[in-house]
Amino acid sequence: MLGFKNVVSVDIGSSLIKLVQLSQSRGKIRLDKVAIVDNPAASFRTGSQKIGKGAIAQAIKHSLRKSHIKAKDAVSSLNGPSIITQYFKFPPLSGKELESAVNLEIQRVMLGRLNEVETDFQVLPQSEEKNGKQNILFVAVPKSMVRQRV
């Protein structure tokens, strides 16, 4: 189970904005609706003018209405060299112990830059290896990138 009933995925590309509504029923994922619209910022990339985030937000809102996408939850992805992903391995630990161990490792990896980034981690499914270790995926994203998308 992925833990959702309805969700819209938002992909803001350099030339297109893609919206996909997915639903989950009986453990299966279904593609319900799709919307693709030109990214209004694409036409301004070569000029000195900049288009505001408001135009992109309006394009998304218009596409959601036009395609009748009703999902309340949304997911999006970010990419780029400033995003940090790291895998950690720990022996089996309880929830609080694991959180403490991960936080210590995050402090080591981030070297005092924690106030500049948003962080999260996830225990990977079926991650217990033959040697009993848990695999943890850690992600850090600059707060400025998050603010641009939210």
Indicate if the alpha-carbon torsion angle 85, 90, 95, 97 is positive or negative: negative
Residues 71 and 114 in one domain: no
The token duo for 51 is 């288009």
Last residue of a domain, one of 76, 107, 132: 76
Same domain, 13 and 70: yes
Buried b / exposed e across 94-113, counting CB within 10 Å, b at 16+? eeeebeebbeebbeeebeee
| Residue 1 falls inside a structural domain | no
Residue 89 sits in the same domain as residue 143: yes
List 88's β-bridge partners, or say none: 136
Q: 88 and 70 in one domain?
A: no
Do 10 and 50 lie in one domain? The reply is: yes
The per-residue pLDDT for range 37-71, each reduced to its tens digit, is 998 887 665 554 556 678 888 999 999 999 999 88
pLDDT at residue 20 greater than cutoff 70: yes
Query: Of 76, 99, 127, which closes a domain?
Result: 76
**For the whole model, what pTM was predicted?**
0.66
- Beta-carbon contacts of 1 under 8 Å, excluding residues fewer than 6 positions away, are 24, 27
Domain shared by 12 and 71, yes or no: yes
List the CATH number of the domain containing 48: 3.30.420.40
Task: Give 111-140 pLDDT, tens digit per residue.
Answer: 878 889 999 988 887 655 566 788 899 999
Number of structural domains in the chain: 2
Query: Residue 117 domain-assigned?
Result: yes
Average pLDDT, the chain: 84
Instruction: Kindly report the CATH number assigned to the domain that includes residue 110.
Output: 3.30.1490
Same domain, 62 and 88: no
Say how far apart CA 7 and CA 73 lie, in whole Å.
Answer: 5
Going by C-alpha positions, the residue among 43, 65, 67 that lies closest to residue 55 is 43
Q: CA 26, 30, 36: angle at the middle one, nearest 5?
A: 160
Higher pLDDT, residue 147 or 61: 61
Answer whether 30's CB lies under 8 Å from 22's CB: yes
Alpha carbons 1 and 18: distance in angstroms, whole number? 25
Domain coverage including residue 123: 84-149
